[in-house]
Structure 1
């Protein structure tokens, strides 16, 4: 998010390093890229839970540590859950709810003592993967974050489409399509609705669904453990994974029917579950309004660090990173 000081922004854009920060629900990651897009460093630290001032301080500290290691000052782009409201200038729609209602851009500018650019984390993922990742060479890319929350971003001709409301691609807070009786009205969501895609397809959503189905009194294994248990032959975990895949297929089919992307790229922690890429495209076919389906489902080439690379590129000329091979 530009600060409005043209001279200061020009100075930031000319710096030798572009620093990206991914402000996630469980981790804050920093990366530094040189002008050619080569990675110079990458570090992670835990996100302070439910503590907004501590979160701002942690972002400032991880950037300062990166610059000390680089021996140089860099421009800073930050990928965030949610987005800034055009009406209030404060954060909205963040699953890290301590951010909502806060002037995050202004507080980070003050903490970092420089202009800062911010974008939704899924938009950062979309740009990173469209430029030189799993969507390289594709005109239309839909990028999905499956992690603490569920987000989406659209990239057309290597440019992110944010939309006038700043919510383009935010499929996670639509209702789960074609719900079964057992899926109605659906779990309560922090947004105030019930049955949102996010409540079923986030990591905590999968874990909660498994706990309910298995009759566990308290929260049981997390999403990664459920996938491992299913691979090892656990029948309850396999049933939970099958429900998850069916729901993911229905939700993504709606995206294909509206956007018709060439590729859907999965990022976030659950994108590492390899079986999704075989099972989901077989399951989405009955829900897609076409006799042939050429849309591909692929994992993010840059893994769960793809979004932080997109954040770094927020300071590239015109906000556009070099094309693959440039």
Structure 2
């Protein structure tokens, strides 16, 4: 088990921090001679090697086979991010670039996507954003019988979208009842979103104004609930800047290919980001801490953003190699999330 930050001596902590910072900067293993040249340490290479060996035994550093230097383990990176790293505010030009893209006009989805693209470019990672599935207004909700106990529900949205579902039909529903349901929705619920339609139906039932029998009311409620549930379960994941993951610094192309494959599995990544959406603060997933990125050894930095009512709406962040400049990228992600929250307000 890895050592905690409180168990490190001041000397070990300083050397560990310098190894991690040098590795994140260069991507190369860091040797004792490199650190010995730093005036702030005033230690011999032999003394530094002894401390680095202890850090390796503690599970915080590792020695690649091809080098005498050390690199931080994923546990070491976690310790650095949680207990040592000092973050700085994004630079003025970085803040301006993100805000300019977010406020460029156009549909809100486009503004969110553009801000994510700006974040991707500034961080040299793939930018990711989880947005709720758009909820179109209802134009028509119709049911066609399949069998005595099943029907096909057809939802036509105001945006022209058409979706079909097979639903169980309450006992006592006849083809005439199905037609009655269609007429009711067209007359009373057309033009409303699913959430608004559910609220309207509930109000009319309480007020005794829903001109439907019990079976028909149940069928309408069941259909509206089905699509509302689906919408909540299917957030939309936008990935921008795949190309940032492939450049001359990508020494391990197999790892990059695995990461790109993982990015194709958007549903899995959306599930991962949903963990951040249900939290209050930023989430940082490092390498094998999450099974999804165990093979590619990638890191995800993600922060939730909020809507006008203050409720959590989506998540924005980046995916890249574990060798990220966390001190720079973490506040950049946080600033993007706050910018999107202001945009949604």
Q: TM-score, normalised by structure 1?
A: 0.26
Q: TM-score, normalised by structure 2?
A: 0.25
**Higher relative contact order, chain-length normalized (CA < 8 Å, sep 6+):** 1
Give the structure with the higher percent helix: 2
